Structure 1
Amino acid sequence: MEAVLGAAVALLDEAGAPALTFRALAARLGTGVGTIYWYVSNKDELLDRATDHAIGGVPAPAEGQPQSDDPIADLRAMAIALFDAIVDRPWLSAYFMRNTDVQGNSLRLYEKLGQPTLRLDLTPRQRFHAVSAITSVVVGTAADLGAEIPPEILDGTMDRDAYLARFAEQWRSLDSAEFPFVQEIVDEFAGHDDRDQFLAALELTLSGLRLQAGTG
């Protein structure tokens, strides 16, 4: 099973879910398709188990980080550690926590993210919503950043800055009366840093949580 899941994760890392077929996996392993069915019954189970295998290789977000007096600061550090670990695997977003019957590693990671909220004055519903929001920011942003690379960048025709500049120029030419917001932020868009954008989204989420918990 370890070899099957390792090969499945490698295929997913290379080309995403469409690349993961039983035939491609069998070829990668140098075996027959029938052998794969000894371990998993269908592609959905294979995807869930491969996701959990990949998550099992992610260092626990709290690992090596001593608990501070501020649970929200601890949550921030854990969320950033998780983001940095999965940002290069956008395919994880579609399957993370999809089936905890087989995703024990994912459930344990979710538990680690949630534990700091136990030190906040929140209801169970508020804790659930808080961790769901943080998970969405982390996993969703990682998925967005790993989305299909534009062909112009992939083939080297232009770099990322030039690609963004092309759209920025288009936005600047829009009618400012019809698109006042776009006109206001276009320079920020043109030079934005993806990780900085993630950190800003995370901070907005955590600030809301801090207000809800009455800690600042």
Structure 2
Amino acid sequence: MDAAVELLDEAGEPALTFRALAARLGGGVGSIYWYVSNKDELLNLATDHVIAAVLEDTADLAAETDADPLDNVRTLALSLFTTVAERPWLAAYFMRNTTIQANGLVFYERLGEQMMRLQLSPRKTFHAVSAVLGYVIGVAADLGQEPPKEVVDGEVAAADYLHGIADQWRALDRDEYPFMHYIVDEFDGHEDIDQFRAGLELLLDGIRIEAEAAP
């Protein structure tokens, strides 16, 4: 699993072949089939292997029954976000097969147990957990994409590239693009992690309002 994750981290899903994994391990392709039947199973197992570290990092939350449950949800969300942002390939496989991904199922349960403490209905609890997971995975996958080639090659600094996009937006017609002009100064020079945290807080605030309004 460590070798499979290394290949995925280096070049994404296309890099993980049985031949490449066997070469990395110094064995034959046939030996891989002794443990896994196909690439899908291997991807699910590699994903679950990574999520094990997220569970380890958040293991203490289960004992913190006096803590604000949404504080615990925030901690879980940030831990998962950091992991997926560092490994964009993970987004496509997280909880894709919970029969194989036992750790993914435990993470889902851990997040759900914190939401249950808010005393929302089963439907709203399910929707709240789904909203948080969807936000975390979606934003992490988006922010984890390969930077533009000129940034990767070192021709342009990331901040300068962002500033260039902001200048393009400033050049747009203000009457046709009032929103772009309204937020462009916030966009210019923003930090991705700050953007993620702000969106997460808006989401958690909405869940708290729902919980406080519940009978």
Normalising to structure 1: TM-score of the pair? 0.92
Q: Which amino acid aligns with 2:196?
A: F
Provide the C-alpha distance between the structure 1 equivalents of 2:75 and 2:42, rounded to a whole number of angstroms: 31
Q: Aligned with 2:49: secondary structure?
A: helix
Q: Do residues 42 (structure 1) and 58 (structure 2) align?
A: no
User: Within 5 Å, which residues of 2 pair with 1:3-82?
Assistant: 5-60=1-56, 62-65=58-61, 66-82=64-80
- 1:179-204 Cα distance to aligned partner (Å, 9 max, x none): 00001111111111100111011111
Query: Conserved in 1, the CA contact under 8 Å of 2:84 and 2:91?
Result: no
Change (3 A) 1:173 1:127: same
Q: Aligned with 2:99: secondary structure?
A: coil
Q: Which amino acid aligns with 1:80?
A: L
Change (3 A) 1:81 1:68: farther
Provide the C-alpha distance between the structure 2 equivalents of 1:194 and 1:68, rounded to a whole number of angstroms: 31
1:17 is displaced (CA, Å) by 0.6
Identity %: 57
1:174 is displaced (CA, Å) by 0.4
- 1:122-158 Cα distance to aligned partner (Å, 9 max, x none): 1111111111111122222221121112111111001
Provide the C-alpha distance between the structure 2 equivalents of 1:182 and 1:195, rounded to a whole number of angstroms: 21
Where does residue 137 of structure 2 map in the other structure? 139
Provide the C-alpha distance between the structure 2 equivalents of 1:187 and 1:140, rounded to a whole number of angstroms: 24
Aligned CA-pair RMSD: 1.7
Provide the C-alpha distance between the structure 2 equivalents of 1:43 and 1:202, rounded to a whole number of angstroms: 34
User: Within 5 Å, which residues of 2 pair with 1:132-171?
Assistant: 132-171=130-169
Provide the C-alpha distance between the structure 1 equivalents of 2:50 and 2:58, rounded to a whole number of angstroms: 18
The structure with more helix, counted as a fraction of residues: 2
Q: Do residues 214 (structure 1) and 212 (structure 2) align?
A: yes
Q: Aligned with 2:60: secondary structure?
A: coil
Normalising to structure 2: TM-score of the pair? 0.92
Provide the C-alpha distance between the structure 2 equivalents of 1:112 and 1:105, rounded to a whole number of angstroms: 10
Query: Conserved in 1, the CA contact under 8 Å of 2:55 and 2:103?
Result: no
User: Within 5 Å, which residues of 2 pair with 1:177-192?
Assistant: 177-192=175-190
Range moving further from structure 2, 174-183 or 50-59? 50-59
The answer for unaligned runs of 5 or more in structure 2 is: none
Q: Which amino acid aligns with 2:46?
A: A
Q: Which amino acid aligns with 1:8?
A: A
Where does residue 201 of structure 1 map in the other structure? 199
Count matched residues. Answer: 212
1:79 is displaced (CA, Å) by 1.6
